[in-house]
Amino acid sequence: MSNSRVSVKQPTCLITGATEGVGRVTALELAKRGFRVVLAARDAQKAEALRREIRASSGGEADYVVGDLASLRQVRELAATFRARYDRLDVLVNNAGVFLARRTETEDGFETTFQVNYLSHFLLTHLLLDALERSEQGRIINLSSSVYSVGRFDADNLQSERKFSVLGTYSASKLFMLMFTEELARRLAGTRITANAVHPGIVRTRMMLQAPGAFRIVSYLSLPFSVSAEKGARTSIYLATSRDVAGVSGRYFTGSKETPAKSGADTEGNRARLWELSARAVNVDDVAGPLRRAS
């Protein structure tokens, strides 16, 4: 792809996990709505195929940046590449996620679900805040899930060090995404950037149908209540495009509607503690750029 910096009037959106499921549909639909879509993906061939599909189906502008969220180095390189190519970011969709059957660690030494589903998105968001602030109204959309409600926050066991379970670890990562969204919105109050969390629904995707362990049983039992990826992407698309939510931040949405988030773990103190631990883990200055100016 071109390395020259692009300054465009059309809105630009970066989507992680953009080549499959909800992320793929989000990319296709936002391109139809006039966005220049930047696909963040591990697989360059899949990203190139989707880029071509976007051009063929809608004539929309698309680009891609290769990066694996299981590597903090690659997350930093992904952000640096984006900043080198584009002068601003209008919408960031932190969509990527994994289910894993057993506890593994990344090259950075973090439990993989924790890093891919949450921590790398925490870092990526920080690295792109300045680009988001250059937008007339930057929007951050974080993919959570209704299973956040059974997730647990234990500052001494964030990475399932003492006990790993597919459901417990996954639901905790989605709880962290919700808590991060709320704390980020609080810290960004007074800026042009908003942050909201999304439950896409029980979506029939390859990741769902191939979920490991007990989660696969839950997935198949949920099939009668599941939705297509097209329907699962609707709330993300709504939050990216609707004028109705231009000033809304720190909220949780399901079915394109604001929904009260209810979790005993989701407290002001726990949100601040998670932020502190996450910032330390990825070595970011959490008062940089828009966060400093908002404080």
Residue 295, in any domain of the structure: no
Closest residue by Cα to residue 265 from 173, 149, 171:
149
Which residues are 138's β-sheet partners? 193
Q: Measured between alpha carbons, how far is 237 from 182 in angstroms, rounded to an integer?
A: 20
Whether 211 is covered by a domain: the verdict is yes
Amino acid at 68: D
Identify whether 200 is part of a domain: yes
First to last CA, the chain: 38
Within a domain: 69: yes
| Cβ-proximal residues to 158 (8 Å cutoff; 6+ apart), any chain | 114, 172, 176, 274, 277
Residues labelled catalytic? 170
Q: What tens digit of pLDDT does each residue of 116-164 get?
A: 999 999 999 999 999 999 999 999 999 999 888 889 999 999 999 888 8
Res. 101 pLDDT band, cuts 50 70 90: confident
In a domain, 131, yes or no: yes
Two tokens at 244? Answer: 């109705």
Residue 6 lies in a domain: no
For residue 4, is it within any domain?
A: no
Strand 138-143 relative to strand 193-199, pairing: parallel
Return the bridge partners of 213, or none. none
Cα gap 166→113, rounded to integer Å: 9
Q: How many helices (H) and strands (E) does the chain have?
A: 13, 8
Give percent of the chain with pLDDT exceeding 70.
85
Q: Considering just the CA atoms, what is the radius of gyration of the chain in Å?
A: 18
What integer pLDDT is reported at residue 288 of this predicted model? 57
Whole-model pTM: value is 0.89
Where is average pLDDT lowest: 42-46, 70-74, 106-110, 284-288?
284-288
Over residues 193-245, the pLDDT tens digits come to 999 999 985 544 555 555 555 555 555 444 444 456 678 889 999 999 999 99
CATH of the domain at 213: 3.40.50.720
Domain count, the chain: 1
Domain membership flag for residue 1 = no
Write out the residue range of the structural domain in which residue 231 sits.
Answer: 12-289
Distance CA 129, CA 20 (A): 25
Question: Residue 136, Cβ neighbours under 10 Å: how many?
Answer: 9
